[in-house]
Structure 1
């Protein structure tokens, strides 16, 4: 992630840190709940979208109501970051599924492209299939993608042309959303599958 993308994300999440800082004095004066609050509780992340799956069928955010969701924005022509992130995400999900089958059945992993010009439904479907049958790949028109990315505070921008084609600059976050579509946590995909599995086990009940 470049400096511009990092600055964008820090600004979007700054209010979370401020909210937590202000809550500390108040919390010290009140009886604490035994349950830990989700890191992204109250954050303005997530929202309605209308996209397209590998079969060209319309998929909306509301269709997942009642299910936990893992949401990652990337693109299939990404040479390294996206494959590594999604591999860690889905391997972590697989470990979680083996240990907590009933809970995992209520989770929908979702990959949303930020490169609709090249990522057709077929391309996205073939790419996500390489990471397991549970990963749902979505694409759409540029406007649809832009709306979805903005709802999830996900930064992306088309980069310069290279001999192998242009690259996309983008944020690298796997959001865990609850059954009501509210943000819970950012999965630690940078720390490996075991950490991803542990974070899912912490929240998905």
Structure 2
């Protein structure tokens, strides 16, 4: 009696097929996610895109430009003198860091107004000077302020209040700029001043 030569072919278990399908879907989703991440990174402003040339007025009538600051690191903070909380609080924190650096430190801090209609150069000088001799208040006409705000990617808008008054809603980033005038990173003062000063000291 002849024996059968036909053998049953092995079948792929359904569980394995399902696992392969899930794996393929995961790969597809990963590819989509990586593509989205790449697009987000490409659209985000690079650090080199922050900062640029400016010419603003001090309280004594002098003009300070970005070229005047080359050779030393400096901090930049935008705000306004009528600010009820964020600006004076942040400037006070910066002042504590300057004190921790010692009386001989030459780190300059530029406090640039986002409200030039009310903040004259003289008013900015008086206000900024109350936080220390290294804090320099700067103002200018609306065109000059709009230009420097655009260069530093600063957000600011008027918020109407009663009686025809207004406040300014604005971003509150402290920009740490290097000796070459290029943006290094946002400087954090939400920590003990000695820690913040320790980060700055090697740059001075």
Q: TM-score, normalised by structure 1?
A: 0.73
Cα separation, 2, equivalents of 1:136 and 1:67 = 15
Q: CA deviation at 1:125?
A: 0.9
Cα separation, 2, equivalents of 1:185 and 1:80 = 24
Q: Please list the CA deviations of residues 85-130 of structure 1 after superposition, one character each: whole Å capped at 9, or x if unmatched.
A: 11111211221235xx4xx32x211110010011011111110111
Q: Please list the CA deviations of residues 180-202 of structure 1 after superposition, one character each: whole Å capped at 9, or x if unmatched.
A: 1011121112335334323313x
Indicate the structure (1 or 2) with the bigger Cα radius of gyration: 2
Q: Please list the CA deviations of residues 24-52 of structure 1 after superposition, one character each: whole Å capped at 9, or x if unmatched.
A: xxxxxxxxxxxxxxxx9843111000110
Cα separation, 1, equivalents of 2:175 and 2:51 = 9
Matched, 1:140 2:140: yes
Question: Which residue of 1 is the match for residue 113 of structure 2?
Answer: 113
Residues 194 and 41 of structure 1, relative CA distance in 2, 3 Å threshold: farther
Give the paired residue count. Answer: 165
Structure 1 stretches of 4+ moved >2 Å: 40-43, 161-165, 189-196
Unaligned runs of 5+ in 1: 1-13, 20-39
Unaligned runs of 5+ in 2: 1-36
Match of 1:18 among 18, 21, 41: 41
Q: Please list the CA deviations of residues 109-168 of structure 1 after superposition, one character each: whole Å capped at 9, or x if unmatched.
A: 111001001101111111011101111110000110010111111111111123593100
Matched, 1:189 2:189: yes
What do you get for the CA RMSD once the two structures are aligned?
Answer: 2.4
Q: TM-score, normalised by structure 2?
A: 0.73
